[in-house]
């Protein structure tokens, strides 16, 4: 019967209620997590695997934990206050702090968005499609989906894209890694006290925990209208997102660690990794890798402009929401459009200094993350804001410790990257 989609048919098979619960669990946190595995993230994991083999897999466990703790707080703030991070910062910290954070946030996100479109261009070029075709087409799709779609449709679209990350899981298995060795390296890591090893470690942390993920998660929870009774769903959604992020990262490292590392092939980007895989594991593996990169860049190219528009609208009090039309929320959709246009437009120019842009984005995100985390902890412990949902004492020890470690690592990343520049 036309009009009855796959979804409806699955629902009738599964029994409606259970699926509804599953679907309401999956959403903002899952998407935010997956969007964290963007073009830059995949590049980093590919490099980590190629350079260090399985030597840094243990760090992924730590990252999962840190990400889960932070994303849960974002989800909790969104559910409890019904306000985005931008709203709370503006109301609790005033104009100065807000403008400073927003300036960094917009700048950082713009550079990352450019990198995502670069990822789209690079991955499509592996399939022989010129960037003058791939970039405008994907920019248009990303724009069209959000401007014309409603929240539910856009969320389902993004969840569907997130499932394409499975290509990395397949590539990981196809590499047929020595599982015992992998397990041994995770359980009993041999931590090397070398500069390059350590740098890769902190880059990996920096690329996985990025401010836009927290901004996006909180805003999306609010836009979705998750109620306080549904908080436990939101919590598991955030945890699931954190898990997914690292789960995918694990298979990327596994793939390049198994195939490229023993061969001594050093790569500097995700597309190089995809190319390097071809002679070793065949065209199919290489294509899977490239599709993964395309997909990751595409999802992040949607989430980043969205997170930025949410943040700006919240900070300055403009109407926002995916369900709104251009008339109802002109600034929100206006910034969204502008962001995509600039991000995609810059990539179309010849000789874009991509390395410099990536470096800038890492630096600015590195500056922003500590500020965001400290503000987040202050907000989440403010009884005026959170009521009974403030952090418990035990939670605070865990979160402050996590945040302190993250801040330390990002500070180190900042210092080393500035020194090496």
Partner 1 sequence: MPFFAGDIFVSDVFKKPVLDQAGEEIGKLKDIIVGQGDPFPAVTALVVASGKSFFVLPWEQINLFNKRVISVNVLRTTLVPAPPAPTDILICRDLLDKQIVDINGAKLVRVNDLRLGDVNGRMCLIAADIGLRGILRRLRLESRGERFLALFRYRMSSNMIGWHYLQPVEPKLSKLTLTVSRQKVSQMHPADLAEIISEASQKERSAIFGTLDVETAAEALHELEPSIQADIIDDLTSEQASDILEQMPPDEAADVLGDLPEKKAEELIQLMEKDEAQEVKELLEHEVDTAGGLMTTEYLAFPPDMSVEDAITELRLEAPDVETVFYLYITDDRERLLGVLTLKDLILARPEVALRDIMRSPVKTLPLDTEQKDVAEFISKYNLLAVPVVDEDQVLRGIVTVDDVLDFLLPPASRKRRRKL
> Under a CB-based contact definition with an 8 Å cutoff, are residues 80 and 389 in contact?
yes
Q: How far is the CB of 219 from partner 1 (least distance, A)?
A: 13
Q: How far is the CB of 325 from partner 1 (least distance, A)?
A: 8
What is the rounded CA–CA span in Å between residue 12 and residue 19?
9
Start-to-end C-alpha separation, the chain = 61
User: Per CB under 8 A, which region of 6-14, 94-102, 188-196, 229-237 contacts partner 1?
Assistant: 94-102
Nearer to partner 1, 97 or 412 (CB): 97
Which are the contacts of 62, defined by CB distance < 8 A and separation ≥ 6? Answer: 205
User: Which residue matches tokens 């984005």?
Assistant: 361
- Which of residues 256 and 320 has its CB atom nearest to partner 1 in the complex? 320
**Window 312-331: residues binding partner 1 (CB under 8 A):** 313, 315-320, 325, 327-328, 330
Q: Does 194 bind partner 1 (CB under 8 A)?
A: no
Would you count residue 224 as binding partner 1 (CB under 8 A)? Answer: no
Judged by CB under 8 A, does residue 96 bind partner 1?
A: yes
b/e string for 366-379 if b means 16 or more Cβ within 10 A? bbbbbbbbebbbeb
DSSP 8-state symbol, 4: -
CA–CA–CA angle 45, 25, 317 (5° rounding): 85
Q: Say whether residue 8 binds partner 1 (CB under 8 A).
A: no
Q: Which stretch binds partner 1 (CB under 8 A): 91-99, 138-146, 169-177, 219-227?
A: 91-99
Residue 127, burial from CB neighbour count under 10 angstroms (0-12, 13-18, 19+): exposed
Stretches 11-19, 38-46, 309-317, 344-352: which one binds partner 1 (CB under 8 A)? 309-317
Residue with tokens 């801040």: 407
**95 vs 266, beta carbon nearer partner 1:** 95
Pick the closer one to partner 1 by CB: 161 or 322.
322
Complex with partner 1: residue 223 or 271, whichever CB lies closer: 223
Task: Please state, in angstroms and as integers, the Cα–Cα distance from residue 173 to each residue in 244, 259, 272, following that order.
Answer: 17, 11, 20
Task: Please identify, using beta-carbon distances, which residue of 271 and 314 lies nearer to partner 1.
Answer: 314
Question: Which lies closer to partner 1 via its Cβ, residue 102 or residue 205?
Answer: 102
In the range 98-117, which residues lie near partner 1 by CB under 8 A? 99
Task: Single out the residue of 94, 279, 282, 387 in contact with partner 1 (rule: CB under 8 A).
Answer: 94
Candidates 23-31, 270-278, 311-319, 351-359 — which segment interacts with partner 1 by CB under 8 A?
311-319
Binding residues among 31-90 for partner 1 as defined by CB under 8 A = 87, 90
Rounded to a whole number of angstroms, the minimum distance from the CB of residue 225 to partner 1 is 13
Report the site for partner 1 in 331-390 (rule: CB under 8 A).
none
Nearest CA to 257 out of 229, 238, 276 is that of: 276
- CA 91, distance to chain mean position in Å, is 26
SS3 for 220-253, per residue? HHHHHCCCHHHHHHHHHHHHHHHHHHHHHHHHHH
Residue of 270, 245, 238, 240 lying closest to 256 (CA atoms): 270
91 binds partner 1 (CB under 8 A): yes
Residues at the interface with partner 1 (CB under 8 A): 87, 90-91, 94-96, 99, 313, 315-320, 325, 327-328, 330
């Amino acid at each position: 019967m036309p009009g009855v989609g796959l979804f409806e048919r699955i629902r009738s098979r599964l029994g409606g209620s259970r699926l509804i619960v599953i679907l309401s669990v999956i959403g903002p946190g899952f998407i935010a997590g997956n969007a964290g595995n963007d073009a830059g993230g995949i590049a980093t994991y590919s490099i980590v695997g190629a350079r260090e083999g399985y030597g840094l897999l243990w760090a992924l466990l730590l990252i999962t934990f840190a990400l889960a703790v932070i994303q849960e707080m974002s989800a909790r703030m969104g559910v409890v206050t019904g306000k985005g991070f931008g709203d709370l910062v503006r109301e609790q910290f005033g104009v100065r702090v807000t403008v400073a954070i927003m300036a960094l946030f917009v700048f950082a996100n713009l550079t990352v968005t450019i990198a995502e479109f670069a990822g789209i261009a690079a991955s499509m070029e592996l399939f022989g499609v010129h960037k003058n075709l791939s970039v405008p087409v994907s920019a248009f799709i990303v724009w069209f989906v959000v401007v014309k779609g409603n929240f539910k449709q856009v969320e389902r679209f993004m969840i569907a894209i997130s499932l394409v990350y499975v290509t990395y899981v397949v590539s990981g298995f196809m590499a047929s890694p020595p599982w015992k060795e992998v397990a041994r390296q995770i359980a009993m890591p041999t931590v090397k006290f070398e500069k390059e090893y350590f740098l890769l470690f902190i880059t990996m942390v920096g690329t996985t925990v990025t401010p836009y993920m927290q901004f996006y998660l909180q805003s999306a929870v609010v836009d979705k209208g998750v109620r306080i009774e549904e908080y436990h769903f939101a919590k598991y959604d955030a945890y699931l997102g954190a898990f997914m992020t690292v789960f995918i990262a694990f298979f990327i490292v596994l793939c390049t660690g198994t195939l490229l590392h023993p061969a001594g092939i050093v790569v500097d980007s995700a597309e190089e990794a995809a190319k390097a895989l071809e002679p070793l594991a065949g065209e199919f593996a290489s294509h899977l890798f490239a599709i993964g990169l395309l997909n990751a860049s595409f999802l992040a190219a949607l989430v980043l402009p969205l997170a930025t528009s949410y943040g700006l609208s919240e900070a300055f009090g403009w109407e926002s929401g995916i369900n709104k039309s251009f008339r109802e929320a002109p600034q929100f959709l206006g910034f969204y459009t502008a962001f995509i246009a600039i991000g995609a437009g810059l990539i179309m120019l010849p000789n874009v200094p991509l390395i410099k842009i990536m470096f800038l984005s890492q630096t600015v995100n590195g500056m922003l993350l500590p500020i965001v985390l400290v503000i987040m902890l202050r907000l989440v412990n403010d009884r005026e804001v959170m009521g009974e949902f403030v952090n418990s004492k035990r939670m605070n020890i865990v979160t402050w410790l996590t945040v302190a470690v993250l801040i330390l690592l990002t500070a180190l990343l900042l210092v080393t990257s500035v020194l090496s520049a």
